Structure 1
Amino acid sequence: MAKCYTTFFILLSLLFTGALKAQNVINGQVWLAPNEPAEGALVTVKDAGYSCMTDRGGNFKLVTPSASATLIITHIGYVPAEYTATAQGDNKVSLAKGVYQLEDVILSSDINYKYFHTISKVDLNIRPVRSSQELLRTVPGLFIAQHAGGGKAEQIFLRGFDIDHGTDVQVSVDGLPVNMVSHGHGQGYADLHFLIPELVKTIDYGKGPYYTEHGNLNTAGYVSFQTIDQLENNRFQVEGGQFNHLRALAMVNILPKENAKRSAFVASEFMHFDGPFQSGQNFNRFNLFGKYIEHISTNTKLTFLASAFSSKWDASGQVPQRAIDQKIIDRFGAIDNTEGGITGRYNASVQLSSFLKNGNSIESQLYYSRYYFQLYSNFTFFLRDSINGDQIKQSDERDIIGFNTKYHIPFTIGNTKLKTTVGASIRYDKTYDTELSYTRQRSFLEHAKLGDITESNAAIFIDQKIQYNQWLVNIGSRLDYLHFNYLDKLSANADAPQNKSIVSPKINVQYTFNKKFQAFVKAGKGFHSNDTRVVVANQGRQILPPAYGADLGFNFHPNKKLVLNAAVWYLFLQQEFVYVGDEGIIEPSGRSRRVGLDLSGRYQMTKYLFADANINIAGARLIDEEKGEDKIPLAPTFTSTGGITYANKTGWNGSIRYRYIKDRAANETNTVIAKGYSLLDGIINYTHRKYEVGLAVENVLNASWNEAQFDTESRLMNEPSAISELHFTPGTPFFAKIKLAIML
């Protein structure tokens, strides 16, 4: 009997060895430029039907029955290439730039598949954006509003959230966190104005708390910007327009773009804008950005970037409707025209990406940011102080240092592909004299809050992707540990430091029926931390209230010209204690529930003519409040964006775009309504190889609309008592600007 078993195992070993010999592994790399690897390129064995997608380093791995194979390589926006690869060869393929076509968008179950990343790249290339605000608007369903002179971070709306300035959406640029935790103006404050829009290469985004790489503040979703590695051309551009708009831009390659080993460029931007207000905004912004890339070897890349940003502005603030009705001011007037502020940020980052011979890869980043912020606001006018007025000053100055690392391990078991990612991160914030004080025309009166904040966030996560035939399953979890400390400089009694941990499991399941239809379901837990001042004041209660979400949806590519996406979703927040920076108080809001529907479509009418539309429906309620008093103020219920774009790379090109938001409740009882609006914007350019001229018009139909809106209790000078009503920042009327760009 023992001999039988021995013979059986010998035969099994021979069969297994023979099977291994019958399989050949073809490895290779795909490049989009001399030093830019092609992430997400589709590599298909010709006439065989099996394929894979490249990873972040442009690497691919195919198991084939023969030692050589003819490959077809495609990537959206590039000319398809045919290449004969061998198992022992140095298989490197460079793709030539082509025309962006929707037929190149693929639905795949590959472990490197990133559908939303691809769609964002389509959007960026068929309708280039010219401001950081427009960058955010490329995310379907995301609305923004500005209400403090142009220099303040935008108010964000997404998936039934008034996210304020970033409390429930995580924003990053090249791995640098944009959100400021425990900020002097509001939790998660995300000022994106340090990003020069022409430098953005891709926008990766996801809605809901389903992604293990993204931790704190990722409840409604995340938005990650990636800048270009090299300029196609040197560019010098000037813009001018109404309301004293002026913008100058310079982007210059320091090293020749043909250099395959290293690249370097710098870009600088200056902008001035007064706006339509009677008291000019005097908004000035300066940006400087530099990036250097060194390919230490074929599979090892070092990236260093640095940036500097400064901005200052005046503001007219939010005005009460009654002041306009009584003709005290007009829509573009001011009750207090001494509002405004200054802000700045300096960033430095070094990243090392290594793609090992065994297919594994590791990415690590060390970053540092120096940040400052001062804001003067007056929301209630003479409610608190009938003599000096209610102007306040908020300030935030801090150092941020952080480290991120991820290790990717792809492997195969039979017909199943797997990719394990383990990662860790740490972020440390230290603020100096974070302040809320009372002022009069920017002159100090007295402190309301003053102290130093120290907040640390350490995290580890594991993410497992499993691809079997048409199935792609993504299971993961992350552990976050946060430490909070606050030194209150106005109190002799020190609150004890607090710390807390939270585990956030996630699961995403996707089934690709064929090249035309793909269904998915997502579920996960996320969180947003509360402000350190809240955490220590409440002795650690409800430090990290969790959020639980689920999505069910599909991606549909019925033909070469049409791409559709739809999802129904649910999100539950257990509890929130929010630090209201304008008043220096803690405001609990209880449990909340949101449900909704997202619909998106892209249609290519001709080679260069594209149409797109997004529809987003949401219902938001406070669970612990009585019916009729359970509205979530300013939560959007219906939004839609879209447009038509003619995307010819040379000659005439342009777009006409709309955005719409429906009326919504401005308070819990729905007795004050934030007014909806519908706007139309247009761009037309003439592009030549050496130059470009263009005209951009915002609010083409000159609609009268309210941008930021709030139900606020205020008191005007000489009013006998306070009145609670709608306060708003008037939206910009018809606004035209022209540009001239020279490319060298």
Structure 2
Amino acid sequence: MITTLRLVAVGALCCHLPAWADPMLPSVLIHNARDSDLGLADSASAGSVSRQQLEARTVYRPGELLEAAPGVLVTQHSGEGKANQFFLRGFNLDHGTDLRSTVDDMPVNQRSHAHGQGWTDLNFLIPELAARLDYKKGPYSAREGDFASAGSVAVTYANRLARAISSVSAGHGGYRRAMTAASPEAFGGNLLYALELLHKDGPFTRPEDYRKANAVLRYSRGFANNGFSVAAIAYRGRWNASDQVPQRAVDAGAIGRFDTIDPSDGGQAQRYSLSGTWRRTVADSASKVNAFVIRNRTELYSNFTYFLNDPVNGDQFAQPDRRVTSGLNATHTWHLHGGLRSTDLTAGLQLQNDNIFNGLHNTRERRRLSVIREDHVVEGSAGMFAEAATQWSGMLRTTAGVRSDHYRFKVASDRRENSGSARDHLLSPSLSIAFAPRAGAELYFNVGAGFHSNDARGTTATVDPASGGPADRSPGLVRSRGIEAGLRLEPAAGLHTSVAVYRLAFDSELAYLGDAGATEAGLPSVRHGVEWSNYYKPVKWLSVDLDLAYAHARSRGAAAGEHFIAGAVEGVGQLGVTVDWRGPWSGSANLRYAGPRPLVEDNSVRTGGSTTLNGRIGYRVNNRLRLELEGFNLLDRRDAAIAYFYASRLQGESEARGDLHFHPLEPRSFRLAAIMQW
């Protein structure tokens, strides 16, 4: 069950473009989603977040920018550098499964990753460049494919900045950050560049020593609906992990909350991409083509069970993963008009190929002891869709679509028995209906089918690489089915509210366990719930919004009393207010709540909720310089950022013990930034 309470203060919602936005974007794309989504969104749970709203958020790490989408919870179980943990609609999405994430139409989810299916590392994201964030929930759009069953989030970078920016910031835990970005005119277009350098130790006994460098170089010409852009993005990060710790060791005083059992855990990551986008729009049609090549490299060293499997060397394991992902997205829309009825008919093609080398090794202090498995995976997919958006009258519009996906998995394993190839395909229809009975109100009904892909290695495996015992092959694609009804209202000036009730079912919750090198077959599941979002702007200088959601998550076909889904959060919430006077001062506060949840299938072990209050105070010295003070966990709560229940063994213990393992919420901290614009 998941309850989402989100109230994000969104200040500075002025009618002019923010300093970060691309002035060449058409007004339909830069509208403030909180002004009105009536007549634009296909469901009550879809929308856009403007640059102004994103800028108002106080985020501890880049991935938390996705929390601007109502109902999304982002946290971390291993400190900085590693991909975040995500929660949405009763899903513990692990590191990204079933939440499709893209940046400039490039996929962020990594298929058949060494650590987890759909690995979503957003540490390359520079928040200041984000011009817009679009989100959808449920499998109701033919445009979205793999990993989009719970939802999808798309971040779009600006092509041009209205003003150049440089900032330096420092704070607790060795936090240091410098960033600069500008977009001067060059070669008949605009050349956007950005550079970010960051270091952070955190509150941990062994400093995380997280060091990262981000760079963006982008050339664009023309307009958002008629033009092109070419972009290169680079990211490098290195860190020491602050993995979860066993509650029994903390209670006994053997370690502190911010200690670690294996201080040699950590990792490094690299991401380099080259992409290009071309758009052309005329009176009766619109075309868009996007192509990309991404090179990712990840190396993780983890130890979650300590001395459970190897009492001498410990249980640390390495998960190296390197890949090249290439792809093409193309759409063409015909604008058809006939009398009072108009239709936009869109055809699309999405191609992706992943050439992957990954493995799983036993290690001690990052030195290899033995190989559990090593694989070369080639995974290719082709997705085709057709979608018809029809305005039948001033009161009724529909969007009907169908999607066809074809996958090919090819695995060359160090075990011949686990090598081979497999294919799978699915057809996914969807329908959205919007009915406006009167001005300021809209009703929605959505139904559709979606899917997520499984790890390619599970589709060909016949032997468990860790135990040597037999293993069952898994299907390549797993079907999801969703249905939703919603309502959006604007009952008064400055007040917007929406309600969505949904049900989402999966045929199976198969998952590849990167920590064990095997595929685990899960039972079918069903989730249903309700979401309620509100936004209120009573005066120009004050904005408040509140989002509430509840979801009930259960397995189907489980033994009596064992149908709970571990990690399904029962409450998530955010509450915030932003004030932006016309004078030099501004500020915001954001209260986030993550509720209790079961940690085992019989609900006998649960974890409590956590509450964090973040805030920001800004002072504009002059037209070019402003100072900002950000505070995190201002209530200094000693909560867990995330918790699990499993068996582990500490050094000196004679046998394994089931225990709660948690990653602590970072204590109260502050960051001071100086921001220069010109």
TM > 0.5 fold call: yes
**Equivalent position of 2:561 in the other structure:** 628
Distance 1:652 1:314 in 2: 38
Matching of residue 107 in structure 1 with residue 38 in structure 2: yes
Distance 1:606 1:449 in 2: 61
**Equivalent position of 2:382 in the other structure:** 458
SS of the residue 1:278 aligns to = coil
Matching of residue 592 in structure 1 with residue 592 in structure 2: no
Q: Could you list the per-position Cα deviations for residues 126-184 of structure 1 after superposition, in whole angstroms to 9, with x for gaps in the alignment?
A: 44757423311111111111122200110000000000011111000000000000000
Which structure 2 segments of 5+ residues have no match? 1-16, 463-471
Q: Does structure 1 retain, via aligned residues, the 8 Å contact 2:590–2:614? A: yes
Distance 2:176 2:474 in 1: 49
1:425: how far off?
Answer: 1.2
Matching of residue 526 in structure 1 with residue 435 in structure 2: no
Matching of residue 647 in structure 1 with residue 580 in structure 2: yes
Relative to structure 1, the CA distance from residue 673 to residue 120 in structure 2 (aligned partners, 3 Å threshold; closer, same or farther) is: farther
Q: Could you list the per-position Cα deviations for residues 407-430 of structure 1 after superposition, in whole angstroms to 9, with x for gaps in the alignment?
A: 011111110010000000110000
Distance 1:544 1:431 in 2: 19
Letter in 2 for 1:380: T
Distance 1:115 1:640 in 2: 16
Letter in 2 for 1:323: A
Distance 1:521 1:574 in 2: 23
**Equivalent position of 1:665 in the other structure:** 598
Q: Could you list the per-position Cα deviations for residues 245-294 of structure 1 after superposition, in whole angstroms to 9, with x for gaps in the alignment?
A: 100001122327xx9x5211100101111001111000011100111111
Distance 2:136 2:55 in 1: 20
Relative to structure 1, the CA distance from residue 684 to residue 204 in structure 2 (aligned partners, 3 Å threshold; closer, same or farther) is: same
Specify which of 107, 128, 149 is matched with residue 79 of structure 2: 149
Matching of residue 604 in structure 1 with residue 537 in structure 2: yes
**Equivalent position of 2:181 in the other structure:** 251
Matching of residue 185 in structure 1 with residue 115 in structure 2: yes
Q: Could you list the per-position Cα deviations for residues 286-327 of structure 1 after superposition, in whole angstroms to 9, with x for gaps in the alignment?
A: 1001111112x9963011111100000002311000001111
Relative to structure 1, the CA distance from residue 737 to residue 473 in structure 2 (aligned partners, 3 Å threshold; closer, same or farther) is: same
Letter in 1 for 2:211: N
**Equivalent position of 2:305 in the other structure:** 380
The 5-angstrom pairing of residues 419-498 of structure 1 reads 419-432=344-357, 434-468=358-392, 469-489=394-414, 491-493=415-417, 495-498=419-422
Q: Does structure 1 retain, via aligned residues, the 8 Å contact 2:25–2:224? A: no
Relative to structure 1, the CA distance from residue 533 to residue 109 in structure 2 (aligned partners, 3 Å threshold; closer, same or farther) is: closer
Structure number with greater Rg is 1
Letter in 2 for 1:424: L
Which structure 1 segments of 5+ residues have no match? 1-30, 42-53, 57-74, 78-99
**Equivalent position of 1:561 in the other structure:** 494
Specify which of 222, 226, 231 is matched with residue 161 of structure 2: 231
Superposed CA RMSD in Å reads: 2.2
1:117: how far off?
Answer: 3.7
Structure 2 length-normalised TM: 0.92
Q: Does structure 1 retain, via aligned residues, the 8 Å contact 2:64–2:74? A: no
Specify which of 659, 662, 670 is matched with residue 736 of structure 1: 670
**Equivalent position of 1:68 in the other structure:** none
Matching of residue 287 in structure 1 with residue 225 in structure 2: no
Matching of residue 707 in structure 1 with residue 637 in structure 2: no
Q: Does structure 2 retain, via aligned residues, the 8 Å contact 1:109–1:470? A: no
Q: Could you list the per-position Cα deviations for residues 451-504 of structure 1 after superposition, in whole angstroms to 9, with x for gaps in the alignment?
A: 111100111100000102211100001100000011102x23453200111001
SS of the residue 2:453 aligns to = coil
Distance 1:427 1:496 in 2: 20
**Equivalent position of 1:310 in the other structure:** 236
Specify which of 320, 334, 338 is matched with residue 413 of structure 1: 338
Q: Could you list the per-position Cα deviations for residues 505-539 of structure 1 after superposition, in whole angstroms to 9, with x for gaps in the alignment?
A: 01000012233111101110000010001111268
> Greater shift after overlay, 225-234 or 118-127?
118-127
**Equivalent position of 1:331 in the other structure:** 257
SS of the residue 1:180 aligns to = coil
Letter in 2 for 1:347: S
Distance 2:136 2:255 in 1: 43
Relative to structure 1, the CA distance from residue 352 to residue 582 in structure 2 (aligned partners, 3 Å threshold; closer, same or farther) is: same
Distance 2:576 2:18 in 1: 29
Letter in 1 for 2:89: R
Matching of residue 583 in structure 1 with residue 513 in structure 2: no
Aligned residues: 651
1:650: how far off?
Answer: 6.1
Q: Does structure 1 retain, via aligned residues, the 8 Å contact 2:290–2:329? A: yes
Specify which of 217, 236, 241 is matched with residue 171 of structure 2: 241
Letter in 2 for 1:734: R
Q: Does structure 1 retain, via aligned residues, the 8 Å contact 2:23–2:162? A: no
1:212: how far off?
Answer: 1.0
1:613: how far off?
Answer: 1.2
